[in-house]
Amino acid sequence: MNRNGAPHHSPAGWPLPRGDHTAHEEPPTERRNPHTTDIDLLNTLDLLQRLNAEDRSVPEAVGRALPELAHAVDLAVAALRSGGRVHYVGAGTSGRLAVLDAAELVPTFNTPGDWFVPHLAGGEPALYEAVENAEDDAGAGAAAIEESAAAGDFVMGLAASGGTPYVLGALEAAGRIGAGTGLVSANPRCRAIALVDAAITVDTGPEPVTGSTRMKAGTAQKLVLTSFSTAVMVRLGHTYSNLMVSMVATNAKLRARTVRILREATGASVETCELALHETGGELKTALVHLLAEVDVASASTALAEADGYVREALRALRS
């Protein structure tokens, strides 16, 4: 065991030398931004406009990383289809964004609660306050993955610098157990991107406030995570067209939304949609296939089961 608690036996290239910071010394986020050196002299509106101008560069930077993000989506879909799970690993802002993304998937797409597993350096207390030293514990990152991940899972690390020890320790452990790996980083020169299966490098450049990665780098991570998890859900059949047909209606607002979705998809009346949802016990997908294919509820349910929950496949089978 090394001083961080991680085993010495690692795949080629791992672990990264902890004392050698040349690989990720002064990442772009740590450089001084020449466009914001006078922000403390601006009036409030001009200050906000300057920050907004910086923010507008983020979506374009994310766009340049889409090919690798697509690869990460495909790896995650393959993991989930084979009975595996997706793990997010991060510290600070990165970890909190990971927790947020994972938490929103269950009510939005009715996913099993353990499909997306977030690992935040410092644990739950780090959600509410900074636990800065937690990110330096590579052994804790490794332990988090060794205790909860398995071969065939997909582990996505998030680190603006690309060199957070907690995240690197987790990725090292993922490689040892045979899990797929990905890294979301704002540093195109960090060594870790060459050692993962999918390296999503979003070079957002210097932050408006030097080193404050909760700004552009954090915004980029939020965009990446939202697109990543949404694309995974679409690929797994949790939408029909652009409609959330797997959602769970747990309150009055969501129950009204299921009726609206059913009306949008079928063109049926409110009364017809409400009756269909009643007959299916609130199962929106079943109600949708029932109305679109004009079959009874039992046949709609069977067709969906045989199509692994894909609405279009169920409709195609019923209409053939």
**CB half-sphere exposure, 244, CA atoms < 13 A:** 19
Catalytic-residue membership of 279: no
Question: Among 25, 26, 54, 104, which one carries the catalytic annotation?
Answer: 104
Q: Are strands 86-90 and 154-158 parallel, antiparallel or unpaired?
A: parallel
Distance CA 269, CA 255 (A): 15
Question: Among 54, 135, 172, 207, which one carries the catalytic annotation?
Answer: 135
Distance CA 194, CA 310 (A): 36
User: Vertex 205, ends 202 and 211: CA angle to 5°?
Assistant: 110
Q: Scanning the structure block, which residue is given the tokens 């766009």?
A: 63
Q: In what order do the strands lie in the sheet with 154-158?
A: 116-120, 86-90, 154-158, 180-185, 198-201
Per the DSSP assignment, residues forming a β-bridge with 198 are 182
Task: State both tokens at 173.
Answer: 């452990």
Q: Scanning the structure block, which residue is given the tokens 């990442």?
A: 27
Assess whether the previous peptide bond of 15 is cis (omega < 30° from 0): yes
Catalytic-residue membership of 146: no
| Residues annotated as part of the active site | 104, 135
